[in-house]
Chain A
């Protein structure tokens, strides 16, 4: 084990699990935190100061829908007072021009606007809400302020055929950045995986389109995307390594190394109301558990890539192999890669295929509800 524990650079602040959308691939846990258990404004302000003291540079406000917190302006003020860069990701849904002005005046640096598709029907099917027209209005308002705008398209088998339309919409809005983020298969997305995972053909076509767009838009709009990891040869360095770069605080103040870590059995998480972020980052069992290389199975511990992908994702290892300390089975070197290959075989089997472009009856999706 290396002696020095590096400082986290980013704090992911899940302000609330409340959300007007009900996305079928939501990254929130299947067990949502109730409103009554959310941290107070004062607690968030203290957490933000503790994060800055720990070396964090950026606060990423997310949810649920961060705008569902009426005190979001105060929380952003607190982030800036602590010296942090303030970024938020939002559906843009409960927002008007006046509230946006307040957020900008409070010091919001970066506005990430999520899109569920290139037009209203897709957005409605995947999020269970009508949102698209409002998002277009919000993008227009954000452009009038001197803050960064990123469009974030969540992509998967049911909307990849709209990719060129999404790019056209992006060029029309002209943000500084656009992210095409493949759904990651945890929580709600894991439950809906069979209809979300793209076929290899569709994936290859989309990568070609994205590569061209990246070239064409260079210097104007930064295009970012990654290959969904079931199709990759090596696992992703999940969160940049466990307890290495990112610290995540849940709506109720529990502190986790990643969004999904509460699916792992036998883990207990400390809470910001009882310990400081520094104590939790440096010393808590949850953060030590998979930090560094000592916990790794021999295959990873002796692998040249151990400091590149850190054994991959613990939650994925657990969800697919039922062993949270196994090599991520996405890795082509893993003896359990067969589990991922079997999933891909089913997805790519034409006889079982779910058509890409036909709208599904909404009853076939497992929609994320709102917490109590």
Chain B
């Protein structure tokens, strides 16, 4: 299900970013670790229950202003949906 723009995504219990001091950022979760780079890290860092999906989209559109805004939004919605199916994310 496509996430609603007004919801606030938050990393699910037991899912967290590794320490900033370690080489390479990863999303740690049960039995898995997801390597994050550029946009995926920017998205996951904002999944703290404070930012709405809409706000994350707006932030990333600003950060990646050379990309087509519509495409940025679609990519973010798809990424959040996949994280939610992995049970790495809840929408609050």
Residues in A lying within 8 Å of B, measured CB to CB = 9, 57-58, 83, 85, 87, 109-110, 112, 145-150, 176-177, 218-219, 221-222
Contact = CB atoms under 8 A, between A and B. Distances in A.
Contact of B1 (A146, A147, A176, A219): A219
B26 interface: yes
A69 to B, nearest CB: 21
A215 B13 CA distance: 22
B35 to A, nearest CB: 10
Contacts of A109: 14, 16, 28, 30
Interface centre among A9, A148, A150 (most CB of B within 10 A): A148
14 contacts: A57-B28, A57-B33, A83-B18, A83-B22, A87-B31, A109-B14, A109-B28, A110-B30, A145-B13, A146-B13, A148-B14, A148-B30, A150-B30, A219-B85
B23 to A, nearest CB: 9
A80 to B, nearest CB: 10
Given A57-B28, A85-B33, A150-B30, A219 B84 contact: yes
A177 B21 CA distance: 29
User: 5 shortest A-B CB distances, which residue pairs?
Assistant: A148-B14, A85-B28, A176-B87, A146-B13, A222-B87
Interface string B15-40: 11011011000101111010000000
A218 B82 CA distance: 11
A87 B13 CA distance: 13
A85 B26 CA distance: 11
Interface residues of B, number: 20
A145 B87 CA distance: 16
Given A148-B12, A219-B1, A176 B84 contact: no
Contacts of A110: 14, 30
Interface centre among B13, B14, B28, B29 (most CB of A within 10 A): B14
Contacts of B16: 85, 109
A57 B30 contact: no
B13 A57 contact: no
B33 A58 contact: yes
A177 B18 contact: no
Given A57-B18, A83-B19, A148-B14, A221 B87 contact: yes
A57 B60 CA distance: 28
Given A83-B18, A109-B28, A110-B30, 17 more contacts: A9-B33, A57-B28, A58-B33, A85-B16, A85-B18, A109-B14, A110-B14, A145-B13, A146-B13, A148-B12, A149-B14, A176-B12, A177-B30, A177-B87, A219-B84, A219-B85, A222-B85
Nearest to A146: B13
A149 B87 CA distance: 11
B13 A58 contact: no
